[in-house]
């Protein structure tokens, strides 16, 4: 492990006012997104879409890192510039999604675990040669009456720790992403309890696997009401409960927490991030690692048409700027 290499990458990413763009949608996910604008998902349409995102003016003013899908890591701008090189010129560090998706967890009905540890070290070496300096691995936790089970919580934590250790061994910063899903009718209190158990298990596993906390990024979900819950918590409640659970279970040595949006609307995700940054007593940098919450408006404005690139980039720029302001507590809904 090269601590200096890990810390240099973290220093470049954990910059106040900047965050991470998650552009690592799988082929299945981006096909679904493209279907919403009546566009066929092909290698070229995916390349053109990512090019539109990455060439947005002032992109690097608000984005310090971009998570790429494997295909995108090897794609190029139409002028021949590899995307990792293009992002570096924009001032953003290239990263890579390395997990291989979800499978059912045996003996745990309704629960899942992420696959992809086989061959991970060799893949990390190749990704690093291509320019990737950080990676991402996601585990998910469904909330039900009796789930997540203790077995699922522990198994998923171990997977995250194995992955993080493999990354740091190669000098690649791991994004550790334990996502407590928003799907369901659970209350804010139930989400809080599950998040407590999940974060406790994750950091226990990270400690056991000797992860350098100063050389990692945490990408958690916020403590939020289920999307089918009759009583939705307001922005301030979400901010307060999220900060409470983070302060209990996330060591101050972790330099930056970059939240996932997890099904929230673009505007709500920004408001929640801003509310948390109004509190100046946080030991970590608190920022974003949003996918759809950053891209949604831009995708609709683009519509797969070259003549719409400028207006789509304007839409993306606006969301990046607003989230950049939210990451330092200076956003206001009137800016929408």
Catalytic residues: 177, 219
- 8 Å CB contact between 36 and 303: no
């330099």: which residue's tokens?
255
Structure tokens at 157: 């934590």
- 8 Å CB contact between 131 and 82: yes
Q: What is the CA 174 to chain-centroid distance, rounded? A: 11
Selection from 317, 229, 325 nearest residue 275 by Cα:
325
């409960």: which residue's tokens?
241
How many angstroms separate the CA atoms of 91 and 93, rounded? Answer: 7
Fill in the DSSP letter of residue 43. Answer: H
* 16-54 per-residue burial string, b: 16 or more CB within 10 A, e: under 16: ebbbbbbbbbeeeebbebbeeeebebeeeebbbbbbbbb
How many angstroms separate the CA atoms of 81 and 69, rounded? Answer: 17
51 — phi, psi (to 5°)? -60, -45
How many angstroms separate the CA atoms of 330 and 55, rounded? Answer: 26
Q: Please give the full DSSP string across 258-290, using - where no structure is assigned.
A: EE--TT--HHHHHHHHHHHHH----SSEEEEEE
């Amino acid at each position: 492990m090269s601590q200096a290499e890990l810390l240099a990458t973290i220093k470049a990413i954990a910059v106040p006012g900047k965050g991470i763009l998650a552009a690592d949608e799988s082929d299945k996910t981006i096909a679904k997104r493209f279907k919403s604008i009546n566009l066929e998902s092909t290698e070229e349409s995916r390349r053109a879409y990512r090019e539109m995102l990455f060439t947005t003016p002032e992109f690097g003013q608000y984005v310090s890192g971009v998570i790429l899908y494997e295909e995108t890591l090897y794609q190029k701008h139409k002028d021949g510039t590899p995307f990792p090189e293009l992002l570096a010129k924009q001032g953003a560090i290239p990263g890579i999604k390395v997990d291989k998706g979800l499978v059912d967890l045996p003996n745990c009905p309704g629960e899942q675990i992420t696959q992809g540890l086989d061959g991970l070290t060799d893949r990390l070496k190749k990704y690093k040669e291509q320019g990737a300096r950080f990676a991402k691995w996601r585990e998910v936790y469904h909330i039900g009456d009796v789930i997540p089970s203790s077995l699922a919580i522990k198994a998923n934590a171990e997977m995250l720790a194995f992955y993080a250790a493999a990354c740091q061994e190669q000098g690649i910063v791991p994004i550790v992403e334990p996502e407590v899903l928003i799907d369901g009718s659970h209350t804010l209190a139930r989400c809080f309890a599950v998040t407590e158990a999940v974060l406790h298990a994750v950091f226990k596993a990270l400690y056991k696997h000797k992860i350098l906390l100063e050389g990692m990024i945490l990408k958690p979900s916020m403590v939020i009401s289920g999307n089918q819950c009759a009583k939705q918590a307001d922005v301030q409640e979400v901010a307060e409960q999220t900060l409470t659970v983070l302060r209990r279970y996330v060591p101050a040595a972790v330099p930056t927490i970059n939240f996932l949006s997890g099904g929230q609307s673009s505007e709500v995700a920004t408001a929640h991030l801003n509310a948390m940054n109004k509190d100046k007593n946080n030991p970590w940098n608190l920022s974003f690692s949003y996918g759809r919450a950053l891209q949604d408006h831009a995708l609709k404005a683009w519509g797969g048409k070259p003549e719409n690139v400028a207006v789509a980039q304007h839409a993306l720029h606006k969301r990046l700027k607003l989230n950049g302001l939210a990451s330092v507590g200076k956003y206001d809904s009137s800016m929408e």
